[in-house]
Amino acid sequence: MRTTSRPSAVTLAGLLLAALTACAGGDESGDADPSGSGPAGSAGTVAFDQALHDELVRMQADDQAELTGQGEDPETTFEERQVRLAEIFDEHGWPGWALVGREGSTAAWVVAQHADLDPELQRRALDLLAEAVAADDASHGDLAYLTDRVAAAEGKEQTYGTQIRCDGAEAVPATPIGDQAGVDERRAEAGLDPLRDYVAEMEKLCASDAE
């Protein structure tokens, strides 16, 4: 049975930083077409869907408003967004760059990234996003964050070290990072900054929260 409850305030700084500063589809090379999709030919002849793009962007805005209490009142609930995202997966698989542009694809990732109390949907999103990245139709950076999100939720080691929690003013990994000696190489492949730079940014947020 799928759970579609509102997530608790887990690693809030990590949630916000992931949503605001993750690669947002900008970690891949190649010229984008006018719709904002990825490199030309990355997803065959898929037509850009403006309506779906706009819907996903609204879902992301609602997600952030409900998490932070800032911005306009959300038009949808966590439960409604999770149900709708599952419907989009049923119809399209992962909504990639060719279908909804970089902005729309990353909006879908934000909703999936925050579906912590729906692990079935989150795991499904991870599998579909991995397929889209392999097809050069979605962000490797977004995949890195979701890979770690799912692993941390299962108490497993992270691959990229993206999931950070605050221990007072200190930023620490939510779960251990596997093969930490190679983490910066993996992060670079995903278009992410070195781990020490990311942790430094997180510590600024942790220090601010601790005041």
184 Cβ contact partners less than 8 Å away, ≥ 6 residues apart: 194, 195
**pLDDT digits over 31-89, tens only?**
334 355 554 444 568 899 999 999 999 999 999 999 988 888 999 999 999 999 999 99
pTM to 2 decimals? 0.83
Q: What is the pLDDT of residue 209?
A: 79
Q: What is the pLDDT of residue 112?
A: 98
**pLDDT digits over 8-23, tens only?**
433 443 444 443 434 4
CA distance 60 to 176: 29
pLDDT at 5 over 50: no
Kindly report the backbone phi and psi dihedral angles of residue 208, in degrees, each rounded to the nearest multiple of 5, phi listed first. -65, -40
Q: Copy the structure tokens of residue 60.
A: 């992301």
Q: What is the pLDDT of residue 1?
A: 37
Q: What is the pLDDT of residue 43?
A: 54
Q: What is the pLDDT of residue 2?
A: 36
Q: What is the pLDDT of residue 72?
A: 86
Q: Copy the structure tokens of residue 179.
A: 């093969």
Is 58 in a helix, a strand, or coil?
helix
pLDDT at 211 over 90: no
Mean pLDDT confidence for 126-142: 98
Share of the chain above pLDDT 70, in %: 79
Q: What is the pLDDT of residue 83?
A: 97
Q: What is the pLDDT of residue 9?
A: 37
Task: Annotate 134-181 with DSSP letters as a single string.
Answer: HTT-S-HHHHHHHHHHHHHHTTPPBSS---EEEETTEEEESSPBTTGG
Q: Any idea what the Cα angle at residue 67 is, between residues 64 and 72, rounded to 5°?
A: 55
Burial class (CB in 10 A: 0-12, 13-18, 19+), 132: buried
- Specify the DSSP class assigned to residue 39: B
4 Cβ contact partners less than 8 Å away, ≥ 6 residues apart: 78, 79, 82, 83, 117, 118
* Domain residue limits, the chain: 12-23+30-210
Q: What is the pLDDT of residue 32?
A: 38
Is 32 in a helix, a strand, or coil?
strand
CA distance 160 to 88: 27
CA distance 144 to 188: 11
**pLDDT digits over 145-179, tens only?**
999 999 999 999 999 999 999 999 999 999 999 99
- Specify the DSSP class assigned to residue 6: P
User: Which residue, among 191, 189, 149, has the nearest Cα to 173 in the 3D structure?
Assistant: 149
